[in-house]
Chain A
């Protein structure tokens, strides 16, 4: 069983640091999503692991084998036995889909063809695809064939570089499922690079957030979403309400009332993170919703409808100009201008006050 360990990776291009002291560990058989905005260094990290780029510092190990150590060891990409799915697939245009899949196999295995069919089946394509010229495949099919090509030689780990970019929403979800299924079947250790937080959270066993060339946080999706390390990560991984507040003894007082703090220990002025889905709306009928905290009154400014749910922007009463976003079910939508009562569900996370500016990359 294989695993990936990167330690202290750094890379600069002409004095501009692209990666700084990046440590990454991917457990055997798991998928880690590297999440970062464009220019965060995530593609460079992938290319260092792959061996296309030599790091200035640090090391890369797969299966305990040292593949790269800056200045001393550099195993070339073709000897790493690491699968690679390029952005948009990069299928060889002069070969058919099947020939693409068989490309990395030994001649005998390629001739036999069994593994080609197997790899195609892994990504949900039947044998008839083998003969298709690669330029006749749709975008989603191209990505699947590219993954099949990478998986066919049974690599130790698979790296995927924005494998779903350029696909429309429906196809994206479908292709995503096919990829997860294939990786799961093969029990492959995988690293996926993406700038899409929903993709990272839904696909990764772990998510590593890369920011300005540094690893900001690495955690399971749930931990990352619920307890981000700072305000920027909080905002990067999802919609966030950040309010001023006063923490004391495991509780925080803010415009949404007195709330329980998940990461207790900080006292005094803080920033409070409340996810929109934590805010519950109810009709403002005199005495509030009843159970728990007394409800806060607010007026609906506008809402954006998504079908299953919608995001409602609210102006808080009593707090000058403060607005929050709440996620409401698509069925019980209050109209603009309507008065509603808010309550917060579950504990919240607090950050030191003023960390918003300091936390910026």
Chain B
């Protein structure tokens, strides 16, 4: 009897899996194509590095200064990533799970640092004093600019957590603190690890954040070397370092994460979890949020205001002469941002869909391959793409199109993260139902999944938009001659200490960044709710 039942069940299960496999074949193909495009700069860079012969490549790796500088980068990551993790988790918990006053405001201020242009932040920190120009400044900028990514992911995980888990822990005699460490924090591990991984990877190739500091990192060294020699193969050889480290980090994180991909085991009634009353802790917690916002948002905005109000008459006259560039620069930046966002979201869609629908080695591999865009400093990736197009696609070389492509490749991982956060909450059963009603996979996606995932697409787009606006490295290499963006204009003025002239460009950038943060706060990790927006 039992044997008969199981033999009956077996082919059915196999058939179901077969259907799923056929369905996702197109998705896999699209994801592989995207992964290849994203890996293009890495492949070209490896070829370039080995062009001068393996001996030369090894020689440049052997030099002691890049190794010291790599150590600098590692030191920054060692301080910045746990700091970003701790701030992100704490901020998310207080905002999502306590009765903290003015939660919307604090959420906005916790998201805003991510959309701020880093080179503006960098100049702002550099102008404070010598302490913030060195190691502490470098690690501080990274921690306070990237903790929002941890915040967003962890806040989403907290919202999705079954309150019954926490209640069961309380019923078993655990107080609030022990419940947090034994039940909540372990549930947050995938979100936390994912966020911290992004921070670490970004530190590895970060340039914009250190542009005004006096702390030499590996990437800064590559930029300097390139500016001295204009040797593409030299920069490429040095980049082998970061490629190796990036791949090693990706493997390490995969090992650390293991099979952990906690989803709700139970599907009981969704009940909003009770918020803890802060009581006497309200004031200290508010002070903490105020301090965090002061450091991450207050410093760049305050510096900007200072530049605008405290400049000399001569400086202001120079600034007003510059204002005629403001509008065209804004148009260019916004146009680049929109185009980059659109392409990045299109790139990210198949990969993030695959990642949430088909958990397995292939899906994970494809998803993580987009993270290889963190393997190269912007400059090196830009050089690689320039080299590639000048040789094989001259029509694209020195066009805006190439710059947009480069930017979208660079920021695809963030788009994937934002899309996953939303897509993961949409039950596959919905799409299955659409399929059962006769819709093909594309139409089922367009009519069911895409409308529900709209907030996630908006979040992904806005995130990339903000990053493109705040990007300097790629634009400096690939922007066609006689074009300029808000970023390049800011940098051109700021690097010659013409801060009053630089300030209006930064002001527009910061204004757009706050708008982006507003959208991000309302859309990241959300599914379109029933009966509205």
Contact B171 A135 (CB under 8 A): no
Partner of B265, one of A50, A91, A104: A91
Chain B positions within 8 Å of A91 at CB level: 265-266
A134 at the interface (CB under 8 A from B): yes
Distance in Å: Cβ of A2 to nearest Cβ of chain B = 15
Partner of B262, one of A93, A103, A104, A165: A93
Contact A153 B165 (CB under 8 A): no
Cα A81 to Cα B171 with chains together (Å): 7
Contact A104 B167 (CB under 8 A): no
Contact with B along A218-260 (1 / 0, CB 8 A): 0000000000000000000000000000000000000000000
Contact with B along A58-96 (1 / 0, CB 8 A): 000000000000000000111111111011111111110
Cα A52 to Cα B169 with chains together (Å): 12
Distance in Å: Cβ of B226 to nearest Cβ of chain A = 46
The stretch of B14-22, B182-190, B279-287 that contacts the partner chain: B182-190
Distance in Å: Cβ of B528 to nearest Cβ of chain A = 26
Contact (A52, B265) CB under 8 Å given A92-B165, A92-B183, A94-B187: no
Contact B173 A88 (CB under 8 A): no
Distance in Å: Cβ of B403 to nearest Cβ of chain A = 44
Contact with B along A91-129 (1 / 0, CB 8 A): 111110000000110000000000000000000000000
Chain A positions within 8 Å of B265 at CB level: 88-91, 93, 134-135, 142
Contact B165 A90 (CB under 8 A): yes
Partner of A93, one of B167, B171, B173, B263: B263
A179 at the interface (CB under 8 A from B): no
Partner of A149, one of B170, B172, B267: B172
Chain B positions within 8 Å of A135 at CB level: 265
Contact A82 B268 (CB under 8 A): no
Q: How many A-B residue pairs have CB under 8 A?
A: 91
A150 at the interface (CB under 8 A from B): yes
Distance in Å: Cβ of B264 to nearest Cβ of chain A = 8
Partner of B266, one of A76, A88, A149, A150: A88
Chain A positions within 8 Å of B268 at CB level: 86-88, 90, 165
Cα A134 to Cα B187 with chains together (Å): 14
Cα A91 to Cα B264 with chains together (Å): 9
Contact A90 B187 (CB under 8 A): no
Chain B positions within 8 Å of A149 at CB level: 168, 172
Contact (A150, B171) CB under 8 Å given A89-B265, A135-B265: yes
| Residue picked from A80, A87, A153, most chain B C-beta under 10 Å | A87
Cα A77 to Cα B274 with chains together (Å): 13
Residue of A nearest to B264 (CB): A93
Cα A134 to Cα B264 with chains together (Å): 11
Contact B168 A153 (CB under 8 A): no
Chain A residues within 8 Å of chain B by Cβ, number: 33
Distance in Å: Cβ of A357 to nearest Cβ of chain B = 31
B162 at the interface (CB under 8 A from A): yes
B175 at the interface (CB under 8 A from A): yes
Contact with A along B266-293 (1 / 0, CB 8 A): 1111000010000000000000000000
B86 at the interface (CB under 8 A from A): no
Cα A95 to Cα B262 with chains together (Å): 11
Contact B172 A90 (CB under 8 A): no
| Residue picked from B260, B262, B268, most chain A C-beta under 10 Å | B268
Distance in Å: Cβ of A84 to nearest Cβ of chain B = 3
Cα A165 to Cα B269 with chains together (Å): 11
Contact (A77, B164) CB under 8 Å given A52-B274, A94-B260: no
Cα A77 to Cα B186 with chains together (Å): 21
- Interface size classification for chain B: 20 to 34
B75 at the interface (CB under 8 A from A): no
Chain B positions within 8 Å of A84 at CB level: 167-168, 171-172
Partner of A86, one of B179, B183, B266, B274: B266
Distance in Å: Cβ of A139 to nearest Cβ of chain B = 10
Chain A positions within 8 Å of B170 at CB level: 51-52, 76-78
Distance in Å: Cβ of B256 to nearest Cβ of chain A = 14
Contact (A81, B262) CB under 8 Å given A86-B168, A90-B168: no
Distance in Å: Cβ of B441 to nearest Cβ of chain A = 28
Distance in Å: Cβ of B187 to nearest Cβ of chain A = 6
Residue of A nearest to B266 (CB): A88
Chain B positions within 8 Å of A166 at CB level: 267
Chain A positions within 8 Å of B171 at CB level: 50, 77-78, 80, 82-84, 104, 150
Residue of A nearest to B187 (CB): A94
Contact B189 A77 (CB under 8 A): no
Cα A28 to Cα B170 with chains together (Å): 23
Contact B168 A87 (CB under 8 A): no
B316 at the interface (CB under 8 A from A): no
B174 at the interface (CB under 8 A from A): yes
Distance in Å: Cβ of A141 to nearest Cβ of chain B = 12
Residue of B nearest to A81 (CB): B173
Cα A95 to Cα B187 with chains together (Å): 10
Partner of B172, one of A51, A76, A94, A153: A153
| Residue picked from B167, B172, B183, most chain A C-beta under 10 Å | B172
Residue of A nearest to B170 (CB): A77
Residue of B nearest to A159 (CB): B171
Contact A94 B186 (CB under 8 A): yes
Residue of A nearest to B183 (CB): A92
Chain A positions within 8 Å of B174 at CB level: 78, 104
Contact B175 A93 (CB under 8 A): no
Cα A146 to Cα B165 with chains together (Å): 11
Contact (A93, B172) CB under 8 Å given A50-B167, A87-B164, A135-B265: no
Cα A261 to Cα B367 with chains together (Å): 74
Contact with A along B340-379 (1 / 0, CB 8 A): 0000000000000000000000000000000000000000
Chain B positions within 8 Å of A79 at CB level: 173
Distance in Å: Cβ of A165 to nearest Cβ of chain B = 8
Distance in Å: Cβ of B306 to nearest Cβ of chain A = 48
Distance in Å: Cβ of A150 to nearest Cβ of chain B = 7
Contact B164 A90 (CB under 8 A): yes
Chain B positions within 8 Å of A52 at CB level: 167, 170, 274
Known: A51-B170, A103-B172. 4 other contacts (CB 8 A): A86-B167, A86-B168, A92-B183, A94-B260
List the interface of chain A (C-beta within 8 A of B). 50-52, 76-84, 86-95, 103-104, 134-135, 142, 146, 149-150, 153, 165-166
Nearest first, the 10 closest Cβ-Cβ pairs linking A and B are A104-B172, A84-B171, A88-B266, A90-B164, A86-B164, A87-B268, A77-B170, A94-B186, A78-B170, A93-B262
29 residue pairs of the A-B complex, CB under 8 angstroms, read: A77-B170, A78-B170, A78-B174, A79-B173, A82-B171, A83-B171, A83-B172, A84-B168, A84-B171, A86-B268, A87-B266, A88-B266, A88-B268, A90-B162, A90-B168, A91-B266, A92-B165, A93-B187, A93-B265, A103-B169, A103-B182, A104-B171, A104-B172, A104-B174, A134-B265, A142-B265, A142-B266, A150-B168, A165-B268
